[in-house]
Homo-oligomer: A and B are copies of this chain.
Amino acid sequence: MNRTGLTGGDPALLRRLNVEAVLRVMRSAEPMTLTQIGRAASLSRQTVDVVIAELDEAGWIEEVAPERSIGRPARRYRFRAEAGHVLGIDVGVAGIRMTLTDLDGAVVASRSAEMAPGISGPDRLTRIHACAAGFLAEHPHARLRALCLGVPAIVDTYGRIRLSTPLPEWSGTDLASIAGTWFDCPAYVENDANLAALAEHWRGAARYADDFIQLIAGKRSGAGMMLGGRLHRGRGGAAGEIGALALLGWEGDAMNDVRASPDPAQIFADAAAGDPSATARVDRFARVLAQGIAAMVLTVNPDLVVIGGGLSQAGEALAGPVRGHLDKLCLDPPQVAASTVGVEAVALGAVRLALEHTNAELFGAHTEGGRKVAGTGAPVTGRSAGQGLFESVRGASD
């Protein structure tokens, strides 16, 4: 758990590191033999043997049928991704989307639910809780280990809502603590644009970029940001709020002309078909959007800008013009791509965030500044890290 370098370590630390290494190797691939694991983790087969025995005992892995090959068939083990599940919830104004996955991030089920926009803050909360509970009840075998909510709001380090324009009644709510009581697992809360960035980095257009800006282009425009492979939130979670600089025009006519229109998709379609009026409207929109993006790009000089949000369904019809303007405004223009994860972005990002925290807790990996840990939440200290790893998993899905 120390890893910080300030204090030294004993053999127990070594063991934890090796357990972690073995798990990492196993999670990233097909079932493996002891020898293969040892090679991949640069450990002796002997050590791997002991570690594997412990992990098997605890239920994190299980033996599978050996492969047919020359020589004595090697035992093979696989990571039991079904030993835990996480739930990601995309909280929107008009409804929610939920995605349940196993520890590998494989989607078990998804569900969305409408929600009356006029519903009160507390009612919305209980409604979400009820939806989630109902959804989980259909998957009784799932052992929920974490939960993450994506919200259109500025969220602080502890998962509290600092400010939300779309959901004003939630401002000031300690959402992470509340959601932490829903199920027997920690709950995390994060800004939706940041989660979209996470999703895009995980399985989308930003898979190979460690520094990128995730733009949310929709009725509301915002941005998430990943720098050095990690989400950058800023002091109060307000990073990416470039729209607040009136000078750049994100709240001006050129923007609203398109995004507040009854059917923005039609405008993009018309522009693609060659309608000069629609083309001009799109271009004006793209130019102003690009100004805001340029301010961010010149500030952090990312590899890539991913355009997401409702309007990203226009794909290249939007990304193209934006790229054109951006190239003129920047010293070192980044790549520009349209989102590839689409409407699932936020829910998927929520899953990803929940998985990262789960992994960190279970395997004692990188200690990171993270979101509020509510629910079970006993912080992992000293040797209890090892214990945490070997808590009863058995019975979860046996």
Q: What is the interface of chain A, defined by CB distance below 8 A to chain B? A: 3, 5-11, 13-14, 17-18, 20-22, 24-25, 41-43, 47, 211, 225, 227-228, 230, 232-242, 244-245, 247-248, 291, 294-296, 298-303, 329-332, 334, 365-366
Most buried by B among A13, A238, A301: A301
Once the chains bind, are B244 and A247 in contact (CB under 8 Å)? no
Query: Closest chain B residue to A38 by CB distance?
Result: B8
Query: Closest chain B residue to A20 by CB distance?
Result: B5
Task: Chain B residues near A41: list those with CB within 8 A.
Answer: 6-8
**Which of B3, B11, B365 meets A14, CB within 8 Å?**
B11
Least CB distance from A43 to B in Å reads: 4
What is the bound-complex CA distance between A42 and B9, given in angstroms?
A: 8
What is the bound-complex CA distance between A6 and B365, given in angstroms?
A: 11
Once the chains bind, are B8 and A301 in contact (CB under 8 Å)? no
Query: Closest chain B residue to A369 by CB distance?
Result: B228
Least CB distance from A170 to B in Å reads: 17
Most buried by B among A22, A230, A241, A330: A241
Task: Chain B residues near A244: list those with CB within 8 A.
Answer: 298, 329-331
What is the bound-complex CA distance between A299 and B248, given in angstroms?
A: 13
Once the chains bind, are A301 and B235 in contact (CB under 8 Å)? yes
**Which of B13, B43, B239 meets A300, CB within 8 Å?**
B239
**Which of B18, B211, B225, B248 meets A8, CB within 8 Å?**
B18
**Which of B17, B20, B230, B240 meets A299, CB within 8 Å?**
B240
Task: Chain B residues near A239: list those with CB within 8 A.
Answer: 299-301
Supply 7 A–B pairs (Cβ within 8 Å), ascending by A.
Answer: A11-B11, A227-B232, A228-B228, A239-B299, A245-B295, A245-B329, A295-B298
